[in-house]
Structure 1
């Protein structure tokens, strides 16, 4: 089972960007207590942002998520959220996400951008960087924690502004539950199974038709083979008849030769007497 044991925050909301505030989470439970505006919600927002990449509700383009640059002479705020956790394989890991908010002096607008992201594994004294790509980490962190992104968003680190979703309208409620229980993925799997079953049924039908045709062909082949056998028997009989006739012809020729020779002898005798 995965666990989160440390969170460091710098430059987020009311947390100063000049120092890092670190929270050590206890086991099996950590209670966060404080007055209004002391940063309790910010801690949940940072946990949610670190694990899912989702910004708090109402944070337009992320600018309001970072400490207001108007409070700094440099017109910019550098922020960082760092999370230490054990993944489902009990490997210690550190996730670091750096952000920056910059104030445009001319337009007085504040722009937000993500500067650097890093995911490292810690084995003893050795540290190894796994990834620095945002897209890879947003999909990888839920897997490492063994919890889906939807559960992290809507259940574990649900923002107080979104906490009433269980009593929302039916369509929104269905959408949330579909995400939490991966119903869409399950439905897609069922659709794929139905499609595969349909294709297999078509193939089975074609195979059955082929089997019927092959049976008919085999029956015709057997009939042909039987007919060929009959013809071969007739040929053998005719060949035997031909041999018998040839034998009779040979004997008849011999008889004819004898008669011819006898006739020749008779004619010579007659000629001699005359």
Structure 2
């Protein structure tokens, strides 16, 4: 079972940019207790940001997520979040995200996500560093926890200002459930399966028509051979040749008929699946 081990925060909101502050998590429950403004929500936001890369709402695109450069009279403030957790197969994962807020010449603030580092410690002692784009890091964290990104954002680490979505109006509630259960991806996959089944069914029909035409043509040839054999004398060697040819032809016809029956069975299965979907 996956669980969180420790969180290190530096330069995020009220946390100092000069030193790392570490939070250890207990199992199975960790309780945060403190006065308003002491950083309880910030801890949840940092966990969510480390796992999903999602910037908290109400931070003006991340500008308010880090320390304000004006407070320290600098042009750039940097911060980082490091989360250590155990995934669903026992690996210890450490994900580190680095970001900065820069004050432009026109006085505007700009938030920028920097590099993401992921280190995996296997139970056998092997250590691997995983590098990649932020999107790959997000997918890696969600997959290693065994939880989708939408559940992390809307259920497990939902911001307190957005935690009342179950009481929202029906339309927005449906949209939220569709996001959590990834209904859009499911519908897209169903459409893809339907199109694929239709294409396969069309290919089977075309192939069935070709093979059936070949069968009818060969049956016609065999009938001509039978007529020719009946005209010839019974003791004639030509008649024996015709009979052997007809015998081999009948075997081929049986094989082709079996193939056609199999094709009809496959076509029936595709029709059933198409009707089911």
Q: TM-score, normalised by structure 1?
A: 0.78
Task: State how 1:3-42 maps to structure 2 within 5 Å.
Answer: 3-42=3-42
Task: State how 1:57-76 maps to structure 2 within 5 Å.
Answer: 57-76=57-76
Residues 120-157 of structure 1: per-residue CA shift (max 9 Å, x gap): 12358764321153222012110111110000010000
Once the 2 structures are TM-superposed, how far is the Cα of residue 232 of structure 1 from its aligned partner?
4.1
Q: What is the rounded CA distance, in whole Å, between the counterparts of 1:69 and 1:40 in structure 2? A: 23
Residues 9-43 of structure 1: per-residue CA shift (max 9 Å, x gap): 11111111111111101011011111111111111
Task: State how 1:143-162 maps to structure 2 within 5 Å.
Answer: 143-162=143-162
The gaps in structure 1 that reach 5 residues or longer are 237-274
Q: How many residues align?
A: 236
Task: State how 1:177-192 maps to structure 2 within 5 Å.
Answer: 177-192=177-192
Q: What is the rounded CA distance, in whole Å, between the counterparts of 1:2 and 1:122 in structure 2? A: 14
Mark the CA change 1:211 to 1:115 in structure 2 (over 3 Å): closer, same or farther: closer
SS in 2 for 1:62: coil
Quote the residue 1:120 is aligned against: 119
Quote the residue 1:199 is aligned against: 199
Quote the residue 1:224 is aligned against: 224
The gaps in structure 2 that reach 5 residues or longer are 237-277
Q: What is the rounded CA distance, in whole Å, between the counterparts of 2:161 and 2:174 in structure 1? A: 19
Residues 177-210 of structure 1: per-residue CA shift (max 9 Å, x gap): 2222222222223222222222232233334434
Q: What is the rounded CA distance, in whole Å, between the counterparts of 1:149 and 1:98 in structure 2? A: 20
Q: What is the rounded CA distance, in whole Å, between the counterparts of 1:67 and 1:54 in structure 2? A: 18
Mark the CA change 1:122 to 1:216 in structure 2 (over 3 Å): closer, same or farther: closer
Task: State how 1:119-138 maps to structure 2 within 5 Å.
Answer: 119-123=118-122, 127-138=127-138
SS in 2 for 1:198: helix
Q: What is the rounded CA distance, in whole Å, between the counterparts of 2:132 and 2:80 in structure 1? A: 15
Q: What is the rounded CA distance, in whole Å, between the counterparts of 1:59 and 1:70 in structure 2? A: 16
Bigger mean CA deviation after superposition, 81-90 or 187-196: 187-196
Once the 2 structures are TM-superposed, how far is the Cα of residue 89 of structure 1 from its aligned partner?
1.6
Q: TM-score, normalised by structure 2?
A: 0.77
Q: What is the rounded CA distance, in whole Å, between the counterparts of 1:205 and 1:46 in structure 2? A: 57
Once the 2 structures are TM-superposed, how far is the Cα of residue 95 of structure 1 from its aligned partner?
0.7
Quote the residue 2:107 is aligned against: 108
SS in 1 for 2:64: helix
Q: What is the rounded CA distance, in whole Å, between the counterparts of 2:35 and 2:217 in structure 1? A: 89
Q: Is the radius of gyration larger for structure 1 or structure 2?
A: 1
SS in 1 for 2:62: helix
